[in-house]
Amino acid sequence: MKEKQEYIILTPTSKPGNRQLVELERKLLSDPKEVENIDHIGAGIHEGIIVCNYSNNQDLTEGTYELPEYTTDFQLMLFDKVNMVGKEEIRRMHFYFASDMEEAEYSDYVRSFIELLLVEFPKDYAHYFKRMIKLMQKRFTKLRKILVDIATTRLITDQSSESDQHINSVEESVSIDTVKEALEHAFPNSLKEDDIADLFNCSVEVVRQYLTELMSRGLIAQLENCQWIRVNRLAEFRKQYYNTTFG
């Protein structure tokens, strides 16, 4: 009998109104063709990924899906600076865990997942879900399933006043502290200026201003590859590693 292999299966469906539901589920399969309605089976670096065609799954569209074990959401403002249009979204994620995981672990586990998902904000839906799948495969192996419910709450079509107002409001929400926190969450990894700007949906010039100020305070450093990293966190990490390894 053929040994079973683990797969992450992505199935998009729809819900009433301006909403979409995408299901990411971990399954053990002897053959990926056991899954119905397959659009693509990943190979190479994408091995273990199955993408299904759009499914008008009544269980999902009617909201009668399995009761989630943990739910969180966040609001995004997506803006196309070329076409000067944008939209507001709420992305709600329902999490389901392996049977051997304690309920007390759910919150920290999900928080770590979200931090790694957003530390370098995916530029589109394809990269967003690919990042989620890779995290489920490589690091968060106790996640059994995730349902992502994406709701568009507002469209921005005014190419002058409302778009300018959005840009100003977003950049006002970015501060030197939020930039520092982004680098702290990324540690021990570094971030590019573009990554931070995409994370907060603001201009690179605004980010560069805060990075320069943080560097003058001795809190961050620019690496040879032009990426940025927290300095004192790096020193703490090296000290802890040295003490653990040699002390």
At 162 the pLDDT is 44
The predicted structure's pLDDT at residue 97: 96
Token pair of 209, please?
Answer: 């201003």
Question: Which stretches in the chain have pLDDT values below 70?
Answer: 1, 15-18, 55-65, 79-85, 120-121, 156-173, 188, 232-247
Same domain, 225 and 111: no
Tell me the DSSP string of 102-170.
Answer: -GGGHHHHHHHHHHHHHTT--SSHHHHHHHHHHHHHHT-TTEEEEEEEEEEEEEE--TTHHHHHHHHHH
Indicate whether 98 belongs to any domain.
yes
- Determine the pLDDT at residue 234: 42
Q: Is residue 241 part of a domain?
A: no
- Claim to verify: residue 133 and residue 220 sit in the same structural domain: no
Q: What is the pLDDT of residue 151?
A: 85
Long-range pairs of 127-136 with CB within 8 A, sequence gap ≥ 24: 129/10, 129/22, 129/24, 132/24, 133/8, 133/10, 133/24, 133/49, 136/8, 136/24, 136/26
Pair (87, 123) in one structural domain: yes
The span from the CA of 178 to the CA of 182, in Å, is: 6
What is the tally of structural domains in the chain? 2
d(CA 33, CA 57): 19
* Residue 193, domain member (yes or no): yes
Pairing state of beta strands 5-15 and 49-52? Answer: parallel
- What does the pLDDT read at residue 63? 53
What is the C-alpha separation between 195 and 213, in angstroms, rounded? Answer: 18
- Distance between CA atoms of 122 and 99, rounded to whole angstroms? 30
- Residues in contact with 240: Cβ distance below 8 Å, sequence separation at least 6, in sequence order: none
- Sequence-ordered list of residues with C-beta below 8 angstroms from that of 48, at least 6 positions apart, any chain: 5, 6, 7, 8, 42, 137
CATH number of the structural domain spanning residue 188: 1.10.10.10
Question: Within 13 A of 76's CA, how many CA atoms are on the CB side?
Answer: 22
pTM value is 0.60
Q: By residue range, what is the domain housing residue 40?
A: 5-157
**Does residue 45 sit within a domain?**
yes
**Residue 156 phi/psi, 5° resolution?**
-110, 110
Within a domain: residue 95? Answer: yes
Residue 189 lies in a domain: yes
**For position 42, what pLDDT does the model report?**
87
In a domain, residue 20? The reply is: yes
The answer to whether residues 221 and 144 belong to one domain is no
